[in-house]
Amino acid sequence: MAAYEPESGYADAASTTNALAASARELGAAIVQHVPVEALLVSGNRVTGVRTAGGDIQAPTVVVCAGLWAPGLLAPLGITVPIAPTRHQMCFFRRPPGFETHPGIIDRPSGTYMRPETGNLTIVGLSAYREVVDPDQYNEGADAQEVMRNAELIANRFPVMEHGLSMGGYSGVYDVTPDHEPVLGPIPGITASTPTSAGAGTASSTRPPSGTSWPSRSSRGERPGGTSNPSGGRGSGTATSCRRRRRPTRRIRSSTPRRRAS
Ligand SMILES: Cc1cc2nc3c(=O)[nH]c(=O)nc-3n(C[C@H](O)[C@H](O)[C@H](O)COP(=O)(O)OP(=O)(O)OC[C@H]3O[C@@H](n4cnc5c(N)ncnc54)[C@H](O)[C@@H]3O)c2cc1C
């Protein structure tokens, strides 16, 4: 069984973030970049601002959206945020002539996803990895066996990719919570600090409803508590619990490493 969404797509992360920042500036927001927050300023049970390398900034409301680094900012307040920094490997494959493009695909039975990238490339990754790492120091490359595994997965979905070419890959760090949902809402017992962090891809896709729903809930003093998904949307936890079937091996040409999938 499959679901096809003709209107769906994907957003380039850097372009999207810069577009949001540009719109915020147009609406009067001041954005300060390259100035790390060193600590949250607290008075009693109230967060009053942030300490930065450039000086203290007082604020009536502080939203901690520091992703993988949110736990470190909140720990001094005695708050534990359950984010596991998990190394996530992505691999590139060049599509062979004649295979111009394809839809973005989430292949839950195989536990993988793939989408076209510029330069006749397709980018492929597993839905879930389990290697917890230090987000400030980890292997940013892709492992050879991971390249081979993804070569098999893409050739299984698109048999023509047996004639594709591996173009290596890279690693980033995913912000994984126990239920793969974002950590969202006011902190119980602490006024004027709201974490909204993590949750991996699901968090990105639920950002729009999150953005409209939680400020009003927050101002009314409601506490979602723990992790929550305000949209009730798709939990990527479903994907991680999928059983992987053993599949027939397929060949794909590889430039890095120069080995054939057996
Ligand atoms: C390899 C990879 C592939 C992915 N693919 C997808 C995908 O296909 N689809 C999808 O939906 N999601 C994907 N994700 C997940 C997605 O990127 C994250 O869920 C999303 O970026 C989290 O957004 P965020 O704003 O919570 O945190 P982040 O994007 O991590 O932003 C946090 C920001 O806070 C800043 N910061 C941290 N500490 C401080 C501090 N002390 N002071 C000031 N600033 C600070 C950081 O520099 C960073 O800019 C992928 C992730 C990885 C690693």
Least confident window among 37-51, 178-192, 221-235: 221-235
Between 205 and 4, name the one with better pLDDT: 4
Q: Is the CB of 105 under 6 A from ligand 1?
A: no
The structural domains of the chain, ordered by start, are 32-82+182-219+227-234 (3.50.50.60), 84-177+240-254 (3.30.9.10)
Contact yes or no for 148/261 (Cβ under 8 A): yes
Rounded average pLDDT over 209-215: 63
Query: Tens of pLDDT along 41-84?
Result: 999 889 999 999 899 999 998 989 899 999 999 999 888 888 99
Q: How confident is the model at residue 240 (pLDDT cuts 50, 70, 90)?
A: very low
Contact yes or no for 205/234 (Cβ under 8 A): yes
pLDDT at 191 over 60: yes
Rounded Cα gap, residues 63 and 69, in angstroms? 13
Q: What is the pLDDT of residue 216?
A: 56
Q: Is the CB of 84 under 6 A from ligand 1?
A: no
Q: Is the CB of 126 under 6 A from ligand 1?
A: no
Q: Is the CB of 36 under 6 A from ligand 1?
A: yes
Q: Which of 86, 174, 183 most suits a substitution to test ligand 1, by most atoms within 8 Å of the C-beta?
A: 174
Average pLDDT across the chain, whole number: 80
pLDDT at 30 over 90: yes
Q: How far is CA 113 from CA 29, 165, 177, in A?
A: 36, 18, 20
pLDDT at 145 over 50: yes
- What is the Å distance from ligand 1's center to 156 Cα? 30
Rounded average pLDDT over 131-147: 97
Rounded Cα gap, residues 188 and 145, in angstroms? 44
Q: Name the residue among 159, 140, 165 with its Cα closest to residue 259.
A: 165
Tell me the β-bridge partners of 51.
39, 56
pLDDT at 231 over 60: no
pLDDT at 89 over 90: yes
Query: Computed from CA positions of residues 175, 181, 185, 190, in that sequence, does the dihedral angle turn out positive or negative?
Result: negative
Q: Name the residue among 202, 203, 195 with its Cα closest to residue 223.
A: 195
Query: Tens of pLDDT along 95-123?
Result: 999 999 999 999 999 999 999 999 999 99
Rounded Cα gap, residues 91 and 125, in angstroms? 6
pLDDT at 232 over 50: no
Q: Is the CB of 172 under 6 A from ligand 1?
A: yes
pLDDT at 261 over 70: no
Q: Is the CB of 213 under 6 A from ligand 1?
A: no
Q: What is the value of pTM for the model shown?
A: 0.79
Query: Computed from CA positions of residues 1, 152, 242, 176, in that sequence, does the dihedral angle turn out positive or negative?
Result: negative
Query: How is residue 127 annotated by DSSP?
Result: S
- What is the Å distance from ligand 1's center to 58 Cα? 25
pLDDT at 241 over 80: no
What number of other Cβ atoms are within 10 A of residue 105's Cβ?
Answer: 18
Q: What are phi and psi of 208, to 5 degrees?
A: -60, -50
Contact yes or no for 227/181 (Cβ under 8 A): yes
Which ranges in 11-143 belong to alpha helices (H)?
Answer: 13-26, 70-74
